[in-house]
Amino acid sequence: MEAFLIAVIVAATPFLFAATGELVAERSGVLNLGVEGMMLLGAVAAFATALTTGSSLMGIAAGAAAGMAGAFLFVIVALGFTANQAATGLALTIFGTGASGLIGKDFVGQALAPMPKFTVPEALADNAAARILLAHDGMVFGAVALVILVWAWLNFTRTGLRLRAVGDDHGSAQALGLGVLKVRSLAVLFGGACAGLGGAYLSLVYTPLWAEDMTAGRGWIALALVVFASWRPLRLFIGALIFAAFDQARNYRETLDIDIPSQFLSMAPYLATIIALVVISLASRRSDAPACLGRDFRPDR
């Protein structure tokens, strides 16, 4: 059970990175369906950089930069030219899938040494809870810190309030001089960087190698997590752990004595998404989604 819980926390980390970034973008009123593509760009850039430079930190930075570059394309097309956001996001996913496969073709079959993990203090070495929570690499703690910082920023800072105002009523926000396009562009770029970090975690830590399409739909789950969390950062913890538990259950079927076909466990995260959305819609009379989510904005109108 201890190994399973550790694996769940590790598997939840890329979800937290990608979903937190997408949550910020959506709170500004932008729906970017290109998370999967940005994660793949981040994964291949991080792996290639870490392999050639020998530095995991350089790889992490490259992953974030690659995800941000993908988001920049989205900003130009969807925000600059006011193209349909959903179609642009889907195109970004297709582009990221193809580009990452092309860039990574020479790195298939190569592997990296995994990032070092923190050592549990001797005083807590015999404590199972301490081992489960502390025996991780720095990116795990970075993902947790990111969610907490985003929650605090959205709720307790002036810039966070401005971003939420833009997502709820971009017309009024523009009239107040908040600069809707600037706020949304920065939010989308931040989301891209976070998606890139999620991809970097996959290729540097989770499975320290490069494989084509290695995200395996995690970008889509991250999108579902934002809705599952009702656009509230702290709820992402619960959602990420639930989806990660389903994801890891198939690998620990014998350990956990689970007599369920592995195919069912593979589809369980997506089934849980549907169930969660139905429960949320039945339990709540109002939607917590930003009022302007997915709506185009033209300053001259």
176: nearest Cα among 166, 186, 187: 166
Q: What is the pLDDT of residue 190?
A: 98
* Residues 6 or more apart in contact with residue 176 via CB below 8 angstroms: 165
Q: What is the pLDDT of residue 230?
A: 86
Q: How far, CA to CA in Å, does 168 sit from each of 48, 162, 184, 287, 295? A: 40, 10, 12, 12, 11
Residue identified by tokens 């201890």 is 2
Rounded to whole angstroms, the Cα distance separating 288 from 221 reads 19
Q: What is the pLDDT of residue 191?
A: 98
Rounded to whole angstroms, the Cα distance separating 243 from 248 reads 9
φ, ψ at 193 (rounded to 5°): -60, -40
Within 13 Å of residue 57, how many CA atoms lie on the same side as its CB? 0
* Residues 6 or more apart in contact with residue 208 via CB below 8 angstroms: 111, 112, 113, 114, 115
pLDDT tens per residue across span 175-189: 988 899 999 999 999
What is the pTM assigned to this prediction? 0.92
Residue 257 DSSP symbol = T
Residue 121 DSSP symbol = P
In tens digits, the chain (301 residues) has pLDDT values of 788 899 999 999 999 999 999 999 999 999 999 999 999 999 999 999 999 999 999 999 999 999 999 999 999 999 999 999 999 999 999 999 999 999 999 998 888 988 888 878 877 778 888 888 888 999 999 999 999 999 999 999 999 999 999 999 999 999 988 899 999 999 999 999 999 999 999 999 998 999 999 998 899 989 988 988 889 999 999 989 988 988 887 777 666 666 677 677 777 777 766 776 565 555 544 557 899 999 988 876 5
Crossing angle, helix 138-156 and helix 158-168, to 10 degrees? 80
Amino acid at 7: A
CATH class assigned to 2-283: mainly alpha
Locate the domains of the chain by residue range: 2-283
265: nearest Cα among 251, 275, 255, 279: 251
Q: What is the pLDDT of residue 257?
A: 64
Q: What is the pLDDT of residue 13?
A: 96
257: left (phi over 0), alpha (psi -120 to 50) or beta: left
Buried b (16+ CB within 10 A) or exposed e, 263-289: eebeebbeebbeebeeeeeeeeeeeeb
10 Å Cβ neighbour count for 29?
A: 29
